[in-house]
Amino acid sequence: MSVDFWINVGVLAGIYGIFTLGLQLNAGFTGLLNFGQAGFMAIGAYSVGIFVVSWGLPLWLAFLLAVALAVAAGMLVGISALRLRSHHFAIATIGFAEIVRYTLQNAEFSGGNQGLIGFDDDWRSVNEWALSKLASVELDAYTQLPLLLAIWATFLVLLVTMELLQRTPWARVLRGIREDEDATAALGKNTFSYKLQSLGIAAALAAIAGFFVSLNITYLYPTVFDPTFTFFGYAILVLGGLGSYTGVALGSIIFWVLLEGTRLMETSLSAGQQSSLRFVIVGLSLILLSRLRPQGILGNRNELRAEP
Amino acid sequence: MATLVETGEAAIEDSTQPPRFARLPRPVILLLVLVAILCGLIAVFGPTMAAQATLNGFVAGGYIGLGAIGLTLVFGMLKVVNFAHGDLMVSGAYLTILLAWLGVPLPLGMLLAVTGTAALALATEKLVWRPLRRAGAGTLQLFLSAIGLGLVIRSTIQFFAGSQVRTLGANVVTSIAFGPLRMGTLQAVAFVVGLVAMVIVGLALRYTNIGKEMRALADNRALAEVSGINTSRIIDITWTISGCLAGLAGVLYATAIGSFNPNFGITLLLGLFAATILGGIGNAYGALVGGIVIGLSQEWSTLLFNARWKPVVGFTLLILMLLFMPQGIFGRTRRRS
Amino acid sequence: MSLLCKRSISASWSVVSILALLMGTASAQAQSLDLTIGALLESTGPLSETGPSIEKAATLAVQVANQAAKDAGIPATVTFVAADSQGDPQAALSAARTLVDKNASCILGPATTPEAISVLNGITLQRKITLWPQASSTRLRAVKDDGTIFRTVAAADLQSKALVLAIENHAGKGKNVAIIFRNEPYGDALSKTFTKDWEGRGGKVLTTVSFDPQQETFDSEAGQALADNPDAYVVIDYPETYAKLGAALVRTGKFDPRKLFVADTLSFAKVPGTIPVESINGAFGVAGSSPRGTGAYALFNKLWDEAGGAENGSYTANTFDAGILCFLSAVAAGSTEPGAIRDKVRTVSQEGARQFTIENLADAVDAAASGEPIDYVGVSGSFRFAPNGDLTTGFYDVFQYRDGKQVTVEQVNVK
């Protein structure tokens, strides 16, 4: 199959890798089951669209504002729901994400059912410039290549940043919360504030991923922010291993190669049957992977037991 | 009798003393709130419209609650967030179709389909859940496997049956009239069956030996094992019952709604979880009441907003209830912290 | 297939067609035109209920095209490749890439506007591959597509006018109307345009109810729409959800199917078995019409029933026609090069040219191969493509369901 196809797989792996870094921070290191990540992603992506289309802001400024707005949404969710227990927090955040999605579909400011379009002109000019540079190495036929490079550069920078953050005293407090929140609180740490920060950072990462989604599909419509994508994120997280940021990158690549690669099966079945077979294989792989390597590919068994 | 009721009473006692709220038990508070809202709606929209919306709410809530009873059992007793539960319901519906296609008469086909779904649920325990527990999988690994399992079940059904809409051919247009009010005949049947299932499961949990052992297992698995309970047998039974209920819900849903495709389980799933959590995890009565609360609020909301906002109303209610009634309507107050 | 090889084929093919023109027959030893038609199907995901019928329509088109080529003695074969767009723009892009890798020269579908725009910008625009979406949102008009998007599905504005005329003819002018639509881009756009058009002609819209397709019951929605006893109800829905909504409408006890007017997504020769007949018998509806009468339509429905499998669904005839148009364009271009096909679409649907339907498709193939402009009149109507690739056909059939079958009542002309 063609290079273009795999570039696209790389784009998806990068976007949902960034998305899952936030879940790693929340679920893997803080013990917070954040299932609203797709909602933060939607807020990020739609804010970019709305700021550019309705307010006429340049794309880059819109992007910064969108990240800020997603963080604010993260705070709001955190302040109201962080006191809930783990499963309840999970379901409350799914609820939040669904409220966001249905609101975007039904409200006027977001373009409603007709979606949003025409926010990516700034990116297109960057894309053309990058392609003209790539022409010198004869790679300009791959139009999605600049996006791939931008996404993976961002992803790697964020990954290293998160990894460095992990070595700070701040992260040790987060782990303490995950292991035993009461004990950490007894040490005089404001655990609520730490959890809130963790959630805020995850929301920012989701918004960055959302920005790249909007550049990839060039049209904003609420179905792209379905809770399914949060579940994808958790699949990536578990595949890569809890407690490892590098595992997120690896997990994302494996997940998307599995999900998209299964399209390439050659059978004589009808299209409907072939698609069904594809998802049977994906489902079986998910079960087998969690069975054969419960700690994930790069996961640490010591981190595994420490879930809420 | 006194010993039998013991654990049950402990639960009630806990729920009657919420530390933050008024002294009233939570179900009573909820009932009062619902009645107050209903009175308000009657005052604004007149008795007919309010009553019809209420009736619709019971129907919609019944569908959710019926599906949630099986889910809440597995969630409460085995701590498995079974994302494949909706797909077990789909199995029930499609097994009925398969059997009808093979020429089995419909009532017998339905019965066999329910049994088949129970067998499938038991098979998932033997093939997926037990090995996973032995491998030491955590909550998230179980969750991922459940998603995988759901995909496998749903896609396998779709592989053979296709993704087009199917029907069992029941007459879904007849309705029962109560004065100016209408309720679909089959919908009423589905609701009554849901009610009966709930009562049977609730009573069985409280008064049978197996039920008591199940609750003991839910409270503390290690302790249950030490006290001589055959835990793997109880786990098998829990899955079988949950599968039966899923199959029953799927068959009824398919019959009363009239048309469906293999996706109906996954679209219902979030509603089922909402009902489970609203009602209190592991509580059969809670599952149905939770479903009805969601159904009522969604259908009532159509009087106030355009119907497309229905899901938003449902999810908002869910979040509010979680914030202000975190143990659910019938759930037990946790002893620790 | 390498580019070089393709070029040599198209070169030799044009030599052949010149020869054929001179001699009046197609040469038997000519090199074959191996066209691949791709389809983006909703095989899984939230819209998967529409997948099987669209897949069947596309494969039927390929079969009919192959047969016509054979009957015409033209050495052309059509291969069908499909991919699953999952109702998700990102998945649609991946799916489209697999089709392009399998040399698809045209792509039928996808079903929604978001998917179409993502596929267009991601791949087909660059390669000039024609895209034939089943989406009818006016959004698609605004995008820069370099003439690659063709829609055999009517956009909302014309259909709205046809609905207005149908209601005026069968329920009366200036009456009170209730609108119920499935909360999606299509229903949203059509209901807004219709409201404007209907009120512009002195009518009144009592209520507009939009419902979320993922709900289990629609009893409240049905009750709300019928509450004020409207003179007519406009339902913009798909068969999969109307199976539930229709039942709910009947259950209210206030429903009169003769007051029901449906949009073209609920137009079938025969009502699907999933929809309760009580909810649709007697109802009126509009659909793009075929000036040549119903011969092609009857043949299509015969082929459909003979093929077995999925029941008829929304936009199957339109998808079928898109496949045939792509095939005829390739024959006319004498090439499988996507850009060449794009440039011939209007030549095979040209106003005033000789008209053909699927009943005499082999003759159409002959004519197209000889370089003659033709007018393919489809199962879903005749095609007059505006510069933006949208239909401008003004003829609509007003039909009524009688005994579970569609009967054409009259034809209206809208501009």
Q: Is A267 part of any domain?
A: no
Please name the amino acid found at residue A295.
Q
C-beta separation of C112 from C45 below 8 A: no
Q: Is A201 part of any domain?
A: yes
Q: Give the C-alpha separation, A88 to C153, whole Å.
A: 46
Per the structure, the count of domains in chain C is: 2
Q: Which residues in chain B are contacts of C224 at CB distance < 8 A?
A: 302, 307
Q: Give the C-alpha separation, A29 to A24, whole Å.
A: 6
Q: Give the C-alpha separation, A74 to A66, whole Å.
A: 12
Instruction: For residues C165 and C209, state if they share a domain.
Output: yes
SS3 A219: strand
According to the model, what pLDDT value does residue A299 have?
75
Q: Is C272 part of any domain?
A: yes
Q: Give the C-alpha separation, B258 to C276, whole Å.
A: 9
Provide the shortest C-alpha distance from residue A290 to chain B (in Å).
6
C-beta separation of C32 from C93 below 8 A: no
C-beta separation of B97 from B277 below 8 A: no
What part of A 36-75 touches B (C-beta under 8 Å)? none
Suggest the residue from A96, A238, A262 to mutate for an interface test with chain B (most B CBs closer than 10 A): A238
Average pLDDT, stretch B118-141?
91
Who contacts B151 (Cβ-Cβ below 8 Å, separation ≥6)?
A279, A280, A282, A283, A286
- Token pair recorded at residue C202: 């002195």
Instruction: For residues C186 and C80, state if they share a domain.
Output: no
Q: Which residues in chain A are contacts of B261 at CB distance < 8 A?
A: none
Q: C-side interface with A, Cβ within 8 Å?
A: 39, 41, 43-44, 46, 51-52, 55, 82-84, 87-90, 93-95, 97-98, 100-101, 112-114, 117-118, 121-123, 126, 137, 139, 142-143, 183-185, 187-189, 212
Encode chain C in three state secondary structure.
Answer: CCHHHHHHHHHHHHHHHHHHHHHCCCCCCCCCEEEEEEEEECCCCCCHHHHHHHHHHHHHHHHHHHHHHHHHCCCEEEEEEEEECCCCHHHHHHHHHHHHHCCCCEEEECCCHHHHHHHHHHHHHHHCCEEECCCCCCHHHHCCCCCCECCCCCCHHHHHHHHHHHHHHHCCCCCEEEEEEECCHHHHHHHHHHHHHHHHCCCEEEEEEEECCCCCCCHHHHHHHHCCCCCEEEEECCHHHHHHHHHHHHHCCCCCHHHEEECHHHCCCECCCCCCHHHCCCCEEEEECCCCCCHHHHHHHHHHHHHCCCCCCCCHHHHHHHHHHHHHHHHHHCCCCHHHHHHHCCCCECCCCEEECHHHHHHHHHHHHCCCCEEEEECCEECCECCCCCECCCEEEEEEEECCEEEEEEEEECC
Q: Is A185 on the interface with B (CB under 8 A)?
A: no
Cα angle, residue B241 at apex, residues B238 and B242 outer, rounded to 5°: 85
Provide the shortest C-alpha distance from residue A145 to chain B (in Å).
32
For residue A98, which of C106, B270, C43, B268 has the smallest C-alpha distance? B270
Please name the amino acid found at residue A126.
V
Please name the amino acid found at residue B179.
G
C-beta separation of C130 from C150 below 8 A: yes
Dihedral pair phi/psi, residue C228, rounded to 5°? -95, 20
Instruction: For residues C33 and C118, state if they share a domain.
Output: yes
Q: Is C387 part of any domain?
A: no
For residue C327, which of C135, C50, C69, C20 has the smallest C-alpha distance? C69
Would the CB atoms of C98 and A264 count as touching at under 8 Å?
yes
pLDDT of C140 over the 70 cut: yes
- Residue C277 CB neighbours (<10 A): 16
**Facing residue for A290 by CB, picked from B141, B162, B273:** B141
Angle (deg, nearest 10), helices A3-23 and A37-53: 110
Q: Is A102 part of any domain?
A: yes
For residue C329, which of C54, C76, C140 has the smallest C-alpha distance? C76
What is the count of residue pairs from B and C with beta carbons less than 8 Å apart?
Answer: 122
Q: Which residues in chain B are contacts of C210 at CB distance < 8 A?
A: 306-308
Q: Is C259 part of any domain?
A: yes
Q: Is C67 part of any domain?
A: yes
Q: Give the C-alpha separation, A31 to A25, whole Å.
A: 8
Instruction: For residues C91 and C132, state if they share a domain.
Output: yes
- Token pair recorded at residue A72: 């604010």
Hey, what's the torsion of the CAs at C288, C290, C293, C295, to 10 degrees? -100
Asked if residue C110 has a cis previous peptide bond (ω within 30° of 0), the answer is: yes
Q: Is C10 part of any domain?
A: yes
| Residues C371-388 pLDDT 10s | 999 999 988 888 889 888
C-beta separation of C194 from C164 below 8 A: yes
According to the model, what pLDDT value does residue B71 have?
95
What part of B 45-104 touches A (C-beta under 8 Å)? 81
- Token pair recorded at residue B50: 């309010």
What part of B 269-298 touches A (C-beta under 8 Å)? 270, 273-274, 277, 281
Of all residues in chain B, the one with the smallest CA distance to C183 is B308
Q: Is C388 part of any domain?
A: no
Dihedral pair phi/psi, residue C65, rounded to 5°? -65, -45
Would the CB atoms of B139 and A234 count as touching at under 8 Å?
no
C-beta separation of A225 from A97 below 8 A: yes
Q: Is A39 part of any domain?
A: yes
According to the model, what pLDDT value does residue A302 have?
59
| Residues B257-306 pLDDT 10s | 989 999 999 999 999 999 998 898 888 899 999 999 999 999 999 999 89
Angle (deg, nearest 10), helices A59-81 and B310-324: 50
Who contacts A147 (Cβ-Cβ below 8 Å, separation ≥6)?
A11, A127, A212, A215, A216
**Facing residue for C52 by CB, picked from B164, B169, B182:** B164
SS3 A208: helix
Q: Is A72 part of any domain?
A: yes
SS3 B184: strand
Q: Is A289 part of any domain?
A: no
Q: Is A27 part of any domain?
A: yes
Dihedral pair phi/psi, residue C231, rounded to 5°? -80, -25
Q: Which residues in chain B are contacts of A276 at CB distance < 8 A?
A: 155-156, 158-159, 163
Instruction: For residues C240 and C205, state if they share a domain.
Output: yes
pLDDT tens sequence for chain A (308 residues): 588 899 999 999 999 999 999 999 999 999 999 999 999 999 999 999 999 999 999 999 999 999 999 999 999 999 999 988 888 899 899 999 999 999 999 999 998 888 898 899 999 999 999 999 999 988 888 889 999 999 999 999 999 999 999 999 998 899 888 888 888 888 888 999 999 999 999 999 999 999 999 999 999 999 899 999 999 999 999 999 988 999 999 999 999 999 999 999 888 898 999 999 999 999 999 999 888 887 888 876 655 544 44
B66 to B60, B62, B76, B105, B287: CA distances (angstroms): 10, 6, 16, 24, 8
pLDDT of C360 over the 80 cut: yes
Q: Give the C-alpha separation, A263 to B16, whole Å.
A: 56
Q: Is A117 on the interface with C (CB under 8 A)?
A: yes
Per the structure, the count of domains in chain A is: 1
Q: Give the C-alpha separation, B121 to B105, whole Å.
A: 24
SS3 B321: helix
C-beta separation of C340 from C360 below 8 A: no
C-beta separation of C268 from C241 below 8 A: no
Would the CB atoms of A263 and C100 count as touching at under 8 Å?
no
Who contacts B99 (Cβ-Cβ below 8 Å, separation ≥6)?
B108, B109, B112, B113
C-beta separation of C396 from C411 below 8 A: yes
| Residues B33-72 pLDDT 10s | 999 999 999 999 999 999 999 999 999 999 999 999 999 9
C-beta separation of B154 from B266 below 8 A: yes
Instruction: For residues C204 and C233, state if they share a domain.
Output: yes
**Facing residue for A95 by CB, picked from B148, B151, B315:** B315
**Facing residue for B159 by CB, picked from A96, A98, A276:** A276
Would the CB atoms of A263 and C94 count as touching at under 8 Å?
yes
Residue C154: pLDDT band with limits 50, 70, 90: confident
The distance of Cα C406 from the centroid of its chain, to the nearest Å, equals 18
Q: Is B145 on the interface with A (CB under 8 A)?
A: yes
Q: Is A284 part of any domain?
A: no
Please name the amino acid found at residue B189.
V
pLDDT of B88 over the 50 cut: yes
Q: Which domain holds residue A125?
A: 3-224
Q: Answer left, alpha or beta for residue C292, where phi above 0 means left and psi between -120 and 50 means alpha.
A: alpha
Please name the amino acid found at residue C409.
V
Q: Which residues in chain A are contacts of B82 at CB distance < 8 A?
A: none
Q: Answer left, alpha or beta for residue C57, where phi above 0 means left and psi between -120 and 50 means alpha.
A: alpha
| Residues C14-71 pLDDT 10s | 444 444 444 444 444 456 899 999 999 999 988 898 899 999 999 999 999 999 999 9
Provide the shortest C-alpha distance from residue C348 to chain A (in Å).
29
Please name the amino acid found at residue A296.
G
Average pLDDT, stretch B228-238?
92
Provide the shortest C-alpha distance from residue A66 to chain C (in Å).
21
Q: Answer left, alpha or beta for residue C92, where phi above 0 means left and psi between -120 and 50 means alpha.
A: alpha
Who contacts B320 (Cβ-Cβ below 8 Å, separation ≥6)?
none
Q: Which domain holds residue C368?
A: 3-154+296-382
What part of A 186-225 touches B (C-beta under 8 Å)? none
Looking at residue C275, which CATH number applies to its domain? 3.40.50.2300
What is the count of residue pairs from A and B with beta carbons less than 8 Å apart?
Answer: 139
Q: Is B20 exposed, middle or buried (0-12, 13-18, 19+ CB in 10 A)?
A: exposed
Q: Which residues in chain C are contacts of B172 at CB distance < 8 A?
A: 247, 251, 276
Provide the shortest C-alpha distance from residue A207 to chain B (in Å).
22
Burial track B134-169 (b if 16+ CB lie within 10 A, e otherwise): eeebbbbbbbbbbbbbbbbbbbbbbbebbbbbbbbe
Cα angle, residue A118 at apex, residues A113 and A124 outer, rounded to 5°: 140
Q: Give the C-alpha separation, B75 to B277, whole Å.
A: 10
Domains of chain B, each with CATH number or no CATH: 2-7+46-167+178-324 (1.10.3470)
**Facing residue for A283 by CB, picked from B137, B152, B274:** B152
SS3 B164: coil
Of all residues in chain B, the one with the smallest CA distance to C182 is B308
Q: Which residues in chain B are contacts of C48 at CB distance < 8 A?
A: 158, 163, 261-263
Of all residues in chain B, the one with the smallest CA distance to C181 is B308
Q: Is B154 on the interface with A (CB under 8 A)?
A: yes
| Residues B160-178 pLDDT 10s | 999 999 998 889 999 999 9
Q: Give the C-alpha separation, A18 to A12, whole Å.
A: 10
A86 to A27, B142, B318: CA distances (angstroms): 10, 15, 15
| Residues C168-182 pLDDT 10s | 999 999 999 999 999
Chains touching A by CB (3 or more pairs below 8 Å): B, C
According to the model, what pLDDT value does residue C143 have?
86
Least confident of A61-65, B15-19, C260-264: B15-19
